[in-house]
Structure 1
Amino acid sequence: MLALTSIWTTILLAAAVALAPMAIDMYLPAFPQIGTDFGANTAQVQLTLSIYIGGFALAQLICGPLADRFGRKPIMIGGMLIFALASIGCALATNIEMLQLFRFLQALGGSAGPVLARAIVRDVYTPRDAAKILAMLAGMMALAPAIAPTLGGFIVAIFDWHWIFIVMAAYALIMVAVIAFGIPEPLRPENRQPFRMCSLLRNYRLVSTDPTFIGYALTSAAVYGGLFAYLSGSAFVLIEVLGVAPEHFGLYNAVTAAGYLIGNIASIRLASRYTPDQILRYGLLGGLVSGAIMAALAYGQLYSPWAVVLPQAAVMASLGMILPQSMAGALANFPKMAGSASALLGFTQMAAAAAAGALVGHLHDGTPLVMATIITACAALALFAYLFLVQRYPAQDFEAQSANS
């Protein structure tokens, strides 16, 4: 078995977390084809994404406490097995309602990877070191949104969308074997929490009423909302509105993923010279400016793929700086309840993502305008949460007030 602090374990955790963006990004190029096959409109197809995000959010609330009680490995393995079976169900769906149902079941299993990977990092590392590891993990994970849409586009062009879900099922089964035999159980017996309703509610009450957690979680959730506004709307905007071929859709996504990777690398490099608070602040300001540029171009009716993709790449670079700091800050105060804290953080992120994605699908007007406006609004909300909550209640021994930076 691998040592928990080895780079290979970090790579393995990144591969586990990548299951979530794979389930989201790989089938985006197939949106138009799914709509045609099932006779479904834009909102119905987009709902398959929002349902996944909603199910993902709800499942985390149970997944985290279960992992605090029984350990990280068995829950992660069980979740991935559920994900694999639901993926096969998606591939066999005969109407849009069946696809929506199996996407929900897919989300129930898929939540285990991201929630428990974050919890494992908190099990093993201090809050400051956890921010660096989460940044490394997110940087490696950035390969998923770069590769997945490209692979999905080629699968759609050569075969059809059903095979996308077969590939997802195969990936999940491989991860089951690797996790089962590749890493030891990271949760120490003395840190296990009882899985009783009263204990579960008590833990969630402690986490959800902690002002430090609230500040970092809302900051993270707002930028997640902007990310999923783009993911929900980009296929329709780029393919249907701006004429990008489905097999080329992933190449444009690779540009935005490169922005995310650049932001992650910057976060790691800057950690030795700047406080987490400063990195978070610069990322939030950069995200707001980048989103505003995209919105301004859309309001000016400059309709081009690059008028969407290049500003979004800059937004993604800001996310690469924001997310590791905000996630590590949210978990910093809960070393013995990392599973529950990670679950509640994930729920908050995914609830914001589902709301933003549904809003984009409902308001889509055949232009990039709605998507760009929602991305900018989410960036503004994230900065608001940072200024009024994070700076007032920073995580001890992790964040520094800007006045002391």
Structure 2
Amino acid sequence: MNPEANQLWRAPRWALAVLLALLGMLGPFSIDTYIPAFSGIAKALGATPVQMQQTLSAYLFGFAFMNLFHGALADSFGRRPVVLWGIAVFTLASAGCALSQTIGQLVFFRGLQGLSTGAGIVVSRAIIRDMFPPAQAQKVMSQVTIYFGVAPAIAPIIGGWLFVHAGWHSIFWFLTAVGVALWTANFKLLPETLHVTHRQPFNVRNLMQGYWELCSNPRFLLLALASGIPFNGMFLYVLAAPEFLGTHLHLAPTEFYWFFVLTIAGIMGGSWYSGRLAGMISPRRQIRYGFTIMLVVSLGNVAANYLMVASASWALIPIAVFAFGWALMVPVVTLLVLDMFPERRGLASSLQAVIGSTANGIAAGAIAPLVMHSTRALAITSLLMMSVGLFAWIFVHRRWPETGRAVTAAA
């Protein structure tokens, strides 16, 4: 934690949470805003469905790759420069997407968007821990998740409206405007939270030493799996939304918003409750609550899909409950990851994001196309992806029982 944190941000804590959440919102906005225009973009550029899927995969793999470096750069040069440069590149890439005339150009600029977007998401986590002690950090992390949860709900609505009324190019011009506004806000408001005494030397030897230190630590890797992989249990349904909602549940495009509203309500509810529990119960107990909710609802979802024909009257509810469980536990696991290496929080946040975003890319490019044809396959795959995180946490709990045991008093 920065010893001068009290002097860096004198506004209310929630205001910093909003600013950091806006940084995190770039990711879901970059994904969800243009999804309603998939068919229109494909028609305009003469692209096949596989090529359109590549625009999503290019973004996700670019995001995963550059996340290896955002945190390391932030540990050496400071949080603020990395955030500002990331937003600037994202803004230029969004303009490139808007000006694209071929599918190849769009894939390229989508990849560039992915390379830059992670800066805000990765660095914002490190900023929280720079500024707040553990219990307060959990509250702020939960607030960020609440605000962040709004983005996937409103992004498809905005994207669909822009596509219908102004064409697909307007979606990326909108993202360009978002980038300009966000860069201006952070330039004026975001303080440098990395204390000068905490900066790491920027050289290949020190960087490789940091990667080896973290990547060779089994507890770190397992905690990163526990926080990053279960997200795909619900993200899988987002990726398969056109098929899942339109073909299987027979919803009209104008009714898709019910899925996003319910899922985001689950995320916001879980995040709110996570903040309420900060300092009241041990982190490992809260993590157990989150995984228990996800496990029970995932098993129920599989059973329901085998016993009944999928219907909008019930099929959206398990996903929302799953989202609640995920949001309840993920702020706690994230803080456990960051606190394992206090001197390399940026790098820890980077590698945590790499694991999660790589899983997202695999889910988007390989898994979702294989299972979206069946609601049973979707339910089973969701359960399996959650189980990866669950078994990772069980192993950590048994091998290192002291992890997450202490209750930190809330301030």
TM-score (norm 2): 0.91
AA in 1 matched with 2:59: Y
- 2:282 corresponds to: 275
- 1:330 corresponds to: 337
1:34 lines up with 2:27 in the alignment: no
CA distance in 1 between counterparts of 2:262 and 2:135 reads 30
Q: Give the drift of 1:246.
A: 3.0
Match of 2:100, SS state, is coil
CA distance in 2 between counterparts of 1:96 and 1:110 reads 21
CA distance in 1 between counterparts of 2:272 and 2:382 reads 23
- 1:377 corresponds to: 384
- 1:219 corresponds to: 226
Q: 1:233 to 1:100 in 2, by over 3 A?
A: same
- 1:387 corresponds to: 394
- 1:61 is matched with which residue: 64, 68, 73? 68
Aligned length: 400
Of residues 379-388 and 300-309 in structure 1, the stretch that sits farther from structure 2 once superposed is 300-309
- 1:178 is matched with which residue: 185, 188, 198? 185
- 1:18 corresponds to: 25
Q: Do 1:4 and 1:124's aligned partners in 2 also have CA atoms closer than 8 Å?
A: no
- 1:229 corresponds to: 236
Q: 1:242 to 1:46 in 2, by over 3 A?
A: farther
Q: Give the drift of 1:226.
A: 2.1
Q: Give the drift of 1:156.
A: 2.4
- 2:92 is matched with which residue: 61, 75, 85? 85
Q: 1:359 to 1:374 in 2, by over 3 A?
A: farther
CA distance in 2 between counterparts of 1:264 and 1:70 reads 31
- 2:127 corresponds to: 120
CA distance in 1 between counterparts of 2:254 and 2:55 reads 21
1:259 lines up with 2:259 in the alignment: no
AA in 2 matched with 1:15: L
Of residues 386-395 and 374-383 in structure 1, the stretch that sits farther from structure 2 once superposed is 386-395
Q: 1:341 to 1:43 in 2, by over 3 A?
A: same
Q: Do 1:60 and 1:343's aligned partners in 2 also have CA atoms closer than 8 Å?
A: yes
Percent pairwise identity:
33
- 1:345 corresponds to: 352
Q: Give the drift of 1:142.
A: 0.9
Q: Give the drift of 1:273.
A: 3.2
CA distance in 1 between counterparts of 2:154 and 2:387 reads 30
Q: Give the drift of 1:395.
A: 6.6
Q: Do 2:145 and 2:327's aligned partners in 1 also have CA atoms closer than 8 Å?
A: yes
Q: Give the drift of 1:364.
A: 4.1
Q: 1:321 to 1:51 in 2, by over 3 A?
A: same
AA in 2 matched with 1:155: L
Q: 1:199 to 1:248 in 2, by over 3 A?
A: same
- 1:319 corresponds to: 326
Q: Do 1:56 and 1:111's aligned partners in 2 also have CA atoms closer than 8 Å?
A: yes
Q: 1:15 to 1:323 in 2, by over 3 A?
A: same
CA distance in 2 between counterparts of 1:16 and 1:245 reads 32
Match of 1:18, SS state, is helix
1:359 lines up with 2:342 in the alignment: no
Structure 2: 5+ residue runs without aligned partners? 1-7
Q: Give the drift of 1:224.
A: 2.5
Q: Do 2:372 and 2:378's aligned partners in 1 also have CA atoms closer than 8 Å?
A: no
